[in-house]
Structure 1
Amino acid sequence: MDRRLFLGLTAAAGAVGSLGLSPARAATPDGARNVVLVHGLFADGSCWTDVIARLQGNGLNVTAVQNPLTTLEESVAAVQRVLAQQDGPTVLVGHSFAGMIVTEAGIDPKVSALVYVAARAPDAGEDYPALAKTYPTPPASAGIVFDGEYGRLTQDAFLHDFAGDVPEARAKVLYAVQEPFRKSLLAGKTTHAAWRSKPSFYAVSTDDRTINPDLQRFMAKRMNATTIEVKASHVSLISQPDTIANLILKASGRQ
């Protein structure tokens, strides 16, 4: 090998190492024309409306999964059915609890990159509730009420702790369409951690009252994610859709 070429490759490898990334993880994700969006608790697929419009305006094929919020296995299966319909490289995006689903379903070979929006990002087999307890409990947790096996947020908690930076009139509409979740959903554990092998991106919500921002930072750092900090409530995808859409565009290789 030419000595100059050898030295150039050695320097490039050193630069990757200085960023704390492995060479495979540091690579730019393959270009993707598909995006699959997954919502979390207290929401339905319509929470992605403003992000969808921006992604479609950039020529991407976008699908929002209607997450059943019943069990982790059934939620992952819903995403897998949508991924099977994609025609090539796909960016898989999860908000909030959907980070569990993205982490599990993201091993699909069609998934070229993962995007976490104020989302859970467990390791394989990790007890996420135990991890969350190592950080101060966010205020929204006190607003969860159950009717038998199904839980939801009270209106006060939804308006102030979940969607605190969304205009009240719109937040009330979002509250009206929140999908109750089954208690058994919270017991699920991932068996895979797709972020260990796929390029990952994370949007931390700095004013989050639903998932502790420092917990988000810990998870983003652990996965060596390309990370942005957004001065937003838990629902940055609604209050700051341009920022979230731009991060997804970056993950798709279009920026």
Structure 2
Amino acid sequence: MKRTQTLLATVVAASLSATAHSQTRTTSQGNGPAKNVVLVHGAFADGSGWRGVYDELTRRGYRVTIVQNPLTSLDDDVAATRRALDRQDGPTILVGHSWGGTVITEAGVHSSVVGLVYVSALIPDAGESSAQQYEGFAATPEFVIDTHEDGFGSLSLPHFQSGFAHDVSDADAAFMRDSQVPISMSVFGTRLTNAAWRAKPSWAVIATEDKAFDQAMLVHMAERAGARITRVAASHAVFMTQPTVVADTIDRAASEAGLKVGRR
């Protein structure tokens, strides 16, 4: 059996049973060429969705690493991201889509990270949960989550394309729908220990046709973080459908963080 809910109702319910997680704060690394980019995917997806951004960035001379989040807890996803950051050989731009924004906010205190890029992403503060970000903003009725008895959620199959990726082909939407990765719904109630954006510069790509988040919510989070905002007409799958815009923003982040990219 399963119960079907909109995202707003689901994450608020999940927040009631979550526990706080502690992570170790690290300090920022010194100057040097930012040739590294680490990409962190969100819920209901995996790292393969970054292929277009990966191709754009590697053509521009970046070394790109893609995290595969287990989506089992905030701790687990942060640990996966930290493992990727530990493998970098210098200053790094850390990028997160959707739930991945929460992950990079916690993991971004890593010493290699010099800038954060949020791609239609959650941006909580230290002491806040992801669920709290929805409070006071409009519901998103087209973004429907089926929560299963094991506590994991997946996007409703009939609503997947309209809610997540209305700007991809029917065939691509069907593949994304049928290959989606469920997420433990308890993650939305986990409070963060760190907010990397308070110490490091940030940028945000906001998809203006995103059905997962109220536009006012996306803008509020980005502005609170002091992020430089780029808007683009796209669905929640903006990380897939607008790879050049996302790559341009990452490129700008590397430059505006006071660093130059080492070309190969």
TM-score, with length taken from structure 2: 0.82
| Separation (CA, whole Å) in 2 of partners of 1:209 and 1:123 | 23
Counterpart of 1:152, as a letter, is S
Q: Which runs of 5+ in 1 are unaligned?
A: 1-28
Higher percent of residues as helix: 1
Counterpart of 1:200, as a letter, is S
Which structure has the higher relative contact order (CA within 8 Å, separation 6+)? 2
For the 8 Å contact 1:145–1:154, the answer to whether it is kept is no
Q: How does 1:90-129 map to 2 (within 5 A)?
A: 90-129=92-131
Q: Give the corresponding residue for 1:53.
A: 55
Rg larger for: 1
1:123-167 deviations in Å (ceiling 9; x for gaps): 101133233021011124434342422210122221111111111
SS at match of 1:139: coil
Counterpart of 1:183, as a letter, is M
RMSD: 1.6
For the 8 Å contact 1:106–1:194, the answer to whether it is kept is yes
2:21 aligned with 1:35: no
Q: Give the corresponding residue for 1:150.
A: 152
Q: Give the corresponding residue for 2:81.
A: 79
Question: How many equivalent pairs are there?
Answer: 227
Q: Give the corresponding residue for 1:219.
A: 221
Match of 2:244 among 238, 242, 245: 242
For the 8 Å contact 2:144–2:163, the answer to whether it is kept is no
Q: Which runs of 5+ in 2 are unaligned?
A: 1-30
Shift in CA distance, 187/58, structure 1 to aligned 2, threshold 3 Å:
same
1:28-79 deviations in Å (ceiling 9; x for gaps): x964101000000010011101110000001100011000000101110110
| Separation (CA, whole Å) in 2 of partners of 1:71 and 1:233 | 26
TM-score, with length taken from structure 1: 0.85
| Separation (CA, whole Å) in 1 of partners of 2:250 and 2:158 | 31
2:152 aligned with 1:167: no
Percent identity between the two aligned chains: 41
| Separation (CA, whole Å) in 1 of partners of 2:112 and 2:42 | 22
For the 8 Å contact 1:30–1:252, the answer to whether it is kept is no
| Separation (CA, whole Å) in 1 of partners of 2:33 and 2:140 | 37
